C-alpha cells in the first residue's frame, strides 16, 4: 500500500512539475514574442527540453523558458527527423480542415494517392507539371490544387487566380490559364488569400509545392513516375 501511495505521489509531482514548466514556457514566450499563439507544448525526447508548436512551426524551449532553439532534431538511432515528422502532422491536420469544394480537384479514376499542390499560374514549373497532369492521373494520383501566387496579393498572378476561381468551369479555366495563357477576368468571393496564407504557414517558399497525404512537403515539379515511387514507400 505504501509503495502504491508513493508511486501516486511521484506521478502527481511529475504532472504538476510538467504543468508548471509548460506555464513558464507560455509566460516567457508571450513576453518575448507578444501576439504569438502557442498551439501545443509537449516534452521532447531530450530531458528538460520541450517542443512547442506555433502554427506549423516547431521550436524547442528549455523547461524554465529561458532558452529557445530552432532547427531540426534528428534521432541518430532511427535516422528520423523528429521535427519534420511533427511538421508533417501539423500540415496533415491543417489540410484535413479544408473542404475539397474550396480546391480545384483533378481526380484519378483508379485513385491510389491524393496530393495537394500549391501552384502559381505564372510559374514555369507549375505549367510544366500541369502539362503532364494526365501522367499523374494515370498513375492513380489525384491532384488537388490550392493557389499560391508568389508575387502576393493584388498582383497580376493573384488576379489570374481569382479569375480562374470565379470561372464557371474552374478545371478548364485553370488549364486554359496555365497551358494557353488565356484568362477571362472575373471577380467573386474566393479563397485565394487564405490559400496563400496557408501555404506560407506550411513553409511553402516556391512553386509548385506538393503536399503528400502524410504531410510531407515535396518541392518542385516531380515527375509522376518518381512521385508515385515516393508515395508508395
* Residue 211 domain boundaries: 99-232
Last residue of a domain, one of 71, 86, 116: 71
Residue 94 lies in a domain: no
* Residue 32 sits in the same domain as residue 141: no
Mutual angle of helices 170-179 and 124-131, in 10-degree steps: 120
The pLDDT value given to residue 92: 94
Q: 225: pLDDT confidence band, cut at 50, 70 and 90?
A: very high
B/e letters for 194-209, b = 16+ CB within 10 Å, e = fewer, are ebbebbeebbbeebbb
* Residue 107 sits in the same domain as residue 55: no
Residue 46 lies in a domain: yes
* Residue 129 sits in the same domain as residue 208: yes
Has residue 38 got a pLDDT over 80? no
Residue 150 lies in a domain: yes
Q: Is 201:55 a contact under the CB 8 Å cutoff?
A: yes
Which is more confident, 14 or 35? 35
Q: Indicate the helix (H) or strand (E) that contains 217.
A: strand 217-219
Q: What value does the mean pLDDT take over residues 76-84? A: 93
The pLDDT value given to residue 168: 96
Q: Which residues contact 39 (CB under 8 A, 6 or more apart)?
A: 53, 54, 55
Has residue 3 got a pLDDT over 80? no
Q: 40: pLDDT confidence band, cut at 50, 70 and 90?
A: confident
Residue 76 lies in a domain: no
| Beta pairing, strands 113-119 & 141-147 | parallel
Residue 78 lies in a domain: no
In 85-211, DSSP assigns E strands to 104-106, 113-119, 141-147, 209-211
Q: Indicate the helix (H) or strand (E) that contains 13.
A: helix 2-32
pLDDT tens track for 178-200 = 999 999 999 999 999 999 999 99
Tally of CB atoms within 10 A around 177 = 21
The pLDDT value given to residue 184: 95
Residue 77 lies in a domain: no
The pLDDT value given to residue 113: 98
Residue 88 lies in a domain: no
Active site residues: 120, 123, 126, 150
The closest of 149, 139, 88, 157 to 118, measured between CA atoms, is 149
* Residue 181 sits in the same domain as residue 221: yes
* Residue 109 sits in the same domain as residue 24: no
Amino acid at each position: 500500500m505504501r509503495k502504491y501511495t508513493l508511486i501516486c505521489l511521484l506521478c502527481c509531482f511529475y504532472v504538476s512539475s510538467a504543468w508548471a514548466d509548460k506555464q513558464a514556457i507560455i509566460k516567457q514566450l508571450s513576453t518575448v514574442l507578444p501576439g504569438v499563439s502557442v498551439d501545443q507544448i509537449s516534452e521532447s525526447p531530450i530531458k528538460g527540453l520541450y517542443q512547442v508548436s506555433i502554427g506549423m512551426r516547431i521550436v524547442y524551449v528549455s523547461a524554465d523558458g529561458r532558452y529557445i532553439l530552432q532547427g531540426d532534431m534528428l534521432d541518430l538511432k532511427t535516422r528520423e527527423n523528429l521535427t519534420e515528422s511533427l511538421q508533417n502532422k501539423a500540415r496533415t491536420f491543417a489540410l484535413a480542415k479544408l473542404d475539397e469544394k474550396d480546391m480545384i480537384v483533378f481526380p484519378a479514376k483508379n485513385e491510389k494517392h491524393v496530393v495537394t499542390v500549391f501552384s502559381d499560374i505564372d510559374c514555369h514549373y507549375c505549367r510544366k507539371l500541369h502539362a503532364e497532369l494526365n501522367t499523374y492521373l494515370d498513375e492513380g494520383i489525384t491532384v488537388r490544387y490550392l493557389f499560391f501566387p508568389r508575387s502576393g496579393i493584388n498582383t497580376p498572378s493573384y488576379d489570374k487566380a481569382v479569375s480562374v476561381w470565379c470561372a464557371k468551369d474552374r478545371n478548364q479555366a485553370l488549364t486554359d490559364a496555365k497551358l494557353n495563357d488565356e484568362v477571362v477576368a472575373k471577380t467573386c468571393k474566393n479563397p485565394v488569400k487564405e490559400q496563400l496564407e496557408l501555404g506560407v504557414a506550411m513553409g511553402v517558399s516556391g512553386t509548385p509545392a506538393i503536399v503528400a497525404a502524410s504531410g510531407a512537403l515535396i518541392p518542385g515539379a516531380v515527375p509522376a513516375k518518381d512521385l508515385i515511387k515516393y508515395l508508395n514507400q
